[in-house]
Structure 1
């Protein structure tokens, strides 16, 4: 139980650091992902990441870059506590003896198991976040007459519960969320452990300095998006899709329609901001997690 408590506390603090560092990048990613494909002869609302930043600040001020942070911030404690404690429990099942370090392949299994656990919490949180982040772009699209405007995270949750099928509505996009979190976290923890052991020259990584942890965490975070980014695009468009007049019948339909109308590039909308976010945000998360857990003894 002591190890579980350490994972809970360290995961919470690490997750808060990750969110604060990475949320503005995530906002731009979602705006680019969710903007509708332009009509023939029209230009897209955002020409790229920097244009999205400029338009967001002009229209909403710097606070617009942090829109939607309330929902993940409110649940970051539970999300990261669950992620790291689930991983810790998986580690204990795979260890040959208490305290024995695991191989990168074993950490891949641990990450996959943790991904299943966090998907249940991530799905409704991501839905609320994406609705808030994308609403300004959707409101100005040609096909968004009468689009709902949300006042905040609780307003999103209330409206979804009331008019989009109750609790089931909050879990819209669960399949692509699982398809993102399971392989994504498997890769993250596998790469993180492989890099740490490479830097340490063996399985004992307890003596690594903060610089090595920052590099390992940042590159591990980048590997997440390199592995699952198209799945995240599908998740985002499913979660912001109109409930009463949907453009997509499901994840496969969304994938096919994006590919047909925008090509492979459509599956990588917002990839630049996602990668720009992943390195510093995950470096901060893993560093703060390791430092916090070490300080707890």
Structure 2
């Protein structure tokens, strides 16, 4: 048997986390696009969308299936980097806290849930610095067509049929489809951010990502570990061996719990972050505000409701997405 090494273990965690992250992102990306578009709607103006279903409908009618996957390349890289970083730093945190606070525990012993929550928070804090630049470009690409829609609508002749008529909708959809190919790509947006704000510009919204990932990752790993421990305890009580691990269904159920816990925990921080990262696309007027100023403005204009815009749909898609991530991760870990 080949002995394990820290380098080999880290390489495996990176590989497993990357593959599982990509699998989850392919499933959830259309829902993430809708979430970002809902979060990015400016205050004090008529809303583009009345809710998630209206956003789905308008995106499909105006842009087709490609509208839901606008900017997919960046988040695929981001999903691989995010999950690889999360799982690697989570395992590293567990090893560190085990040696510092639980020296009597072996590698096979499971740490107390409070220790796992700390490890999850540490891994999320570390990952947030990797994730913010990737999410910045992703969010900008996801809302580009909204400004394009407004621009084309503003140029429409006042004597033309209303936008709600079938003919006008068909013309607008055709114009959007044609103009969408001329929108800046990910590389163009990277250059634009660098020209306008320098290197620091890529970490716009970092505080929101830090809050979301620190609390969210603690909830994500904590919920998964807690749910899976319940399944293991039930197996032991039934006379089985807990070391055999959990079943495929149990891994998916535990992962679903993790996804729900992650998104419920600090969703307002994600809403503020998305608004900060897309304001230059949606509304180019005014100075760029900081995290607390944007949060205060959102609350004053829309109350607590605006901070949870898109939360229900996000939680609904997070459950199957996280189920896929942990299912793929656990299977890779057992088989390779």
- TM-score normalised over the length of structure 2: 0.81
* In structure 2, C-alpha distance between the alignment counterparts of 1:113 and 1:158, rounded to whole Å: 31
Query: d(CA) in 2 for partners of 1:84 and 1:33?
Result: 28
| CA distance, structure 1, for counterparts of residue 106 and residue 258 of structure 2 | 26
Q: 1:37, CA displacement in angstroms?
A: 2.9
Aligned in 2, Cα 1:206/1:168: closer, same or farther, shift over 3 Å? farther
Residue 66 (structure 1) aligned to one of 65, 69, 90:
69
In the other structure, the counterpart of 1:88 is: 91
More displaced stretch, 208-217 vs 268-277:
268-277
Is 1:292 equivalent to 2:332 in the alignment?
Answer: yes
Q: What CA distance in whole angstroms lies between the structure 1 residues aligned with 2:301 and 2:78? A: 35
Contact 1:113/1:182, CA 8 A, preserved across alignment: yes
Q: For the residues of structure 2 that align with 1:150 and 1:176, how far apart are their CA atoms?
A: 27
Instruction: Return the alpha-carbon distance in structure 2 between the equivalents of residues 248 and 237 of structure 1.
Output: 11
- Please tell me whether the aligned partners of residues 241 and 247 of structure 1 are also in contact (alpha carbons under 8 angstroms): no
The alpha carbon displacement at 1:247 in A equals 5.9
> SS at 2:298's partner residue?
helix
For residue 226 of structure 1, report the CA deviation from its aligned partner: 0.7
| Alignment partners' CA distance in 2, 1:109 and 1:138 | 41
Q: Which one of the candidate residues 20, 28, 38 is aligned to 1:32?
A: 38
Aligned length: 289
Deviation of 1:77 (Å) = 2.6
Give structure 2 stretches of 5+ with no counterpart: 1-5, 99-104, 155-181, 237-241
Whether 2:256 is the aligned partner of 1:218: answer yes
Identify which of 79, 82, 89 aligns with 1:79.
Answer: 82
> Distance between the aligned counterparts of 1:205 and 1:189, measured in 2?
19
- Rg comparison, structure with higher value: 2
Change (3 A) 1:105 1:246: farther
Separation of aligned partners in 1, 2:264 and 2:14? 27
Partner of 1:207 in structure 2? 245
Quick one: which of 176, 186, 193 aligns to 1:153? 186
Alignment of 1:163-202 (within 5 A): 164-201=196-233
Kindly indicate whether the alpha-carbon contact (under 8 Å) linking 1:150 and 1:156 is maintained by their aligned counterparts in 2: no
- Contact 1:104/1:191 (<8 A) preserved: no
Match for residue 280 of structure 2?
242
2:270 alignment partner in structure 1: 232
Runs of 4+ in 1 over 6 A off after TM superposition: none
Q: Gaps (5+ residues) in structure 1? A: none
Partners of 2:245 and 2:194 lie apart in 1 by 49
